[in-house]
Every structure is written in structure tokens, then in C-alpha cells.
Amino acid sequence: MLQQKVRVRFAPSPTGGLHLGGVRTVLFNYLFAKKNNGTFILRIEDTDQTRYVPGAEEYIVDCLKWCGLIPDESPLHGGEYAPYRQSERKPLYREYAEKLVMHGYAYYAFDTPEELEQKRSNVPNFQYGMAYRNEMRNSLSLSQHEVDALLDAGTPHVIRIKMPEDETISFNDMIRGHVSFDTNTIDDKVLLKADGMPTYHLAVVVDDYLMKISHAFRGEEWLPSAPVHLLLWEYLGWKEHMPQWAHLPLILKPDGHGKLSKRDGARLGFPVYAMNWTDAKTGDLTEGFREIGFLPEAFLNLLAMLGWNDGTDQEIFTLDELIEKFSMERISKAGAKFDFEKAKWYNAEWIKKLAPERLTAEIKPVLATKGVEVTNDAYLTAVIELIKDRIVLLNDAYEHAWYFFKQPEEYDLASVKPKWNEAKSDLFDAFISHLNQSRAFDAATLEADFKALLTEKGLKPGDAMLPLRIMLVGGKFGPHVFDIAALLGKEEVIKRIKNGLKAFNA
């Protein structure tokens, strides 16, 4: 194999939402490219027009943008190997398909859908291959005169690869090592469809060759297609240019039994798509990791750890750290179970780790959806610093922050009223008077002054700390009560204590 500059590609079909397994494939491509000073390419494989969904390509681009995995070459960014949509490359595929026919590696098949269906009805587990190809209507079973007449008449036809008999096809997978296939078990795949569009098998080989792809990473489920692709690289005379392949392990259901699917997410209550996806035909919404409150850094971090580790106990990685430490040798052959609780742990850790300004920018729109319009970013940043250890998903922010922006409308009276008395009421009247005269309003001073007042009134902290908290926030929750008070400010705290006293004394 010739030594090539590292060029890798992610080549999705624009048919729906982007599964987290697809994003992991993007991530591993990206990490490998950046680790080796290579190029990461996005190529849209839209040759199956029957499954094409409007808006899906834009959605894929938006997902990669959210994740921060920006391609060097793509339909959007361009590049010297454009176009990067297979539908725009349609004319060039027939040339290579016809070349395969000319050299005896492929053939024309004129069978109608009805004829194929009839054969499937008559032959259980029918495969269009060496066992039955001579019984079908194709250029192997028909005379040259009949074939020419059908072609001249414009008869619809496909081009199929002619799989050889009794051969073993082998290659070395970067993850799985030596892999072999028996050609007798593989059918004659369609390479070029009747509409002139290539199938995945032909297009992926032609495009990988023309775009000088050096390494091809794809999911384990594509392993059965490998022998067809290996033969095409050989038959087209490009074997020495063939990329090194790596078939990534599956992401499994939480119980480990089978590949994780969208249905599993819906059944178990977690997303499997990177971002919200709305089915254009049904209008059904499938929720995404972004919309339920995941940070892109956490999303990439958790995906990297599904099937890879750096050999240490480290679990939290920045993208730069992943690039530095990534290696193909550390990718597991075995599938990785998806654990949503662990996924949320990654997000909580990243919320603690993220720079305050960045976290403020992420949480501000979350609060806006709940009717909290933040006009002072510095104040919001201070709030977030107090509550971020309590947030698991960004969408949790409102639950932990609302009382910093509006007064409680209800109080947990059941926790206060049974032990409420005139002495406690007098204490808070005295505290209001003290606050009106006090100049300092930091948490430490507030706590010291309040506890001194308690001692003066002959009360214990346990008698008054909970009522103070409930006056400020409405319930038994939140960070340290004097941190809350210091952030709310003197005027607001006095107002809330007065309102609380009215409710407690009613």
C-alpha cells in the first residue's frame, strides 16, 4: 500500500436524525485526523433518492457544528475534490460500472421487480448470485445479440458485481486484525441502479479513491459489505490505493443485548440522537441530547469513552486532550453498553468544569424559555457559581435558580408553622432593623450578625435558620442560606423577610 497523507471521511445518508453512534464515528475520524495532522471530510451519500429526507443534510451539518467537529472539506466548506454530494457526482459512476462490465467483473441485469419477486416466492432465502444468476435475465444468461437489443431499446437494467466462486477474501482491520470471507456466501450486489444512481458499494469505493481517503472508519454492521468493496478496489485497479479500514464496535442497549436504537431510547426515556429531529412525513419529534440539556463537551466525552480509553483511570477529557491521547490500539473490539446515568454524570462534571462565562451563555436561554429574562450577566454568573454543583442537565438550571430572580409566591408553611412563635417573629423584626442599619452585606458578616442576634434573643440556630431559608426561597432547598442572601442584596432580603413574616404570622 502506498504511503498517503491522512484523509478520513464521515459519509452519512441524509435520511433522518443523527444517532449517537454516528457522532462517535465522526469523533473517531476527527480525532485520528487531527492527531496525524490530516484532513477530515464530510461527504453526503444521497444516492438513495427514495430515502432522501429534505432538511436532513442541514441537520447533520448543524449537529457537527454543535459538537465542534468542523470538517475541513464538505458540501458547505468546499475543497479540491468537490462536489461532496454523491447526487452531484452521478455521471462519473457509470463510467466505472461499465468498465467493470467490460472486464467481466460485473454484468447487466434486466430482471423486472415482478420477476425478482416471483423468484423470491419460489426459492426460500433467494440470493441473486452464483447459484441462480444463470436462471435470471442478465448479460450472463442472454446472448450478446439479446443484450445489445435490450440496451439499444433503453430497457431498464441494473449493473451487478459478479462474485467469484470458491475464493477467500481477507484484509487486516485496524481494530479486529485479520478478517476473512468466503465468496460463496455473498450475493451479486447491485452496483448501479436503474435510475443511473450508484449503490453505496460502488459509490463509496469510487469516491474514496478519487478523494484520496487514507483510512475508512465505519460501524461494525458494515463488515459484511467489506468483501464486495475489497473486490471493487482490486477490479478497478486501485488495490494499492485502498484505505486502511477500521470497523468500530457497536453501541449496545443498556442490558448489552443488541444495538442501541431510537426505539430503545423512547422505551427507556433517554435520547439517542445528537439534536432534536422532526420526521418530515409524520411530524413526530425525537428528542436530542442538546435539547435535554447536554453540553457538547460532555456529549463528546461520553461518546469517546464508549469503546475507547487511554489506558488510565482518567474519564474527563477536553477535545484537545482526546486528540493528544487518541490511538486506534485502545479501541475495543467488543460493543459498549450505553448507560444514561453515566452519561448524565459526564454532563454534571462538565458543568462544574466549564468556564463561568460559557456556562452563563448556555444557561441564559434555558431561563428565558421559563420566562426569566436576564439583564445582568454578571449577576447570573454569580448565581451559577452558587448552584452549578447541583445541576446535572442544563435544563435543571431553572429549578435551582428561579428564586434568585423572583420572590417566592408560596411557602413551605408546614415546615415552619408547628414551631412558629412570637419570639421567632420578634427575632426577624429585629434582624430587619439590623439590616437597615448595617453597611456590610457579605455572607460571612450576615451569618455572624444573625447568630449574634440569636444568642441575644436566647434562640438556637436550629430555631431560625430554616424559617430564614423558607422566607428567601420558599422551601427547604438551595445553597448556603447566607450566600443566597448576600447575592439577593439588602433591599430584596428585607422585602422577602417581611413577606415571609406576613405568611408565617397569618
Active site residues: 262
Residues sharing a CB contact under 8 Å with residue 112, sequence separation 6 or more, in sequence order: 156
- Tell me how many degrees the CA angle 301-306-312 measures, rounded to the nearest 5: 75
Alpha-carbon distance of 436 to 299, in angstroms, equals 48
Written as nine digits, the cell of 103 is 472486464
| Sign of CA pseudo-dihedral 439, 440, 443, 445 | negative
Which residues make beta-bridge pairs with 10? 42
Q: What are the backbone dihedrals phi and psi of residue 107, each rounded to the nearest 5 degrees, phi first?
A: -155, 160
Distance CA 471, CA 224 (A): 66
Answer for the pair 106, 236: CB distance below 8 angstroms, yes or no. no
159: phi then psi, degrees, rounded to nearest 5: -115, 125
Residues 6+ apart with CB under 8 A from 491: none
Q: Do residues 304 and 289 touch, judged by C-beta distance below 8 A?
A: no
Whether 349 contacts 391, CB under 8 Å: no
State how far the alpha carbon of 318 is from the alpha carbons of 32, 113, 282, 306, 362, in Å: 15, 52, 38, 16, 18
Pairing assessment for the beta strands 190-192 and 158-161 based on DSSP bridges: antiparallel
In angstroms, the CA 110 to CA 20 distance is: 40
Q: What is the DSSP letter of 170?
A: E
Q: Please tell me the distance from the alpha carbon of residue 161 to that of residue 236, in angstroms, as a whole number.
A: 12
Q: Is 292 in contact with 271 (CB distance < 8 Å)?
A: yes
Calculate the dihedral angle through the C-alpha atoms of 486, 488, 492, 498, rounding to the nearest 10 degrees: -70
Report the phi/psi class of residue 253: left, alpha or beta, with left for phi > 0 and alpha for psi in -120 to 50: beta
Separation of alpha carbons 173 and 321, rounded Å: 26
Q: Rounded to 5 degrees, what angle do the CA atoms 444, 446, 452 make? A: 105
Alpha carbon distance, N-terminus to C-terminus of the chain:
86
How many beta carbons lie within 10 A of that of residue 293, not counting itself?
20
> What's at 375, amino acid-wise?
T
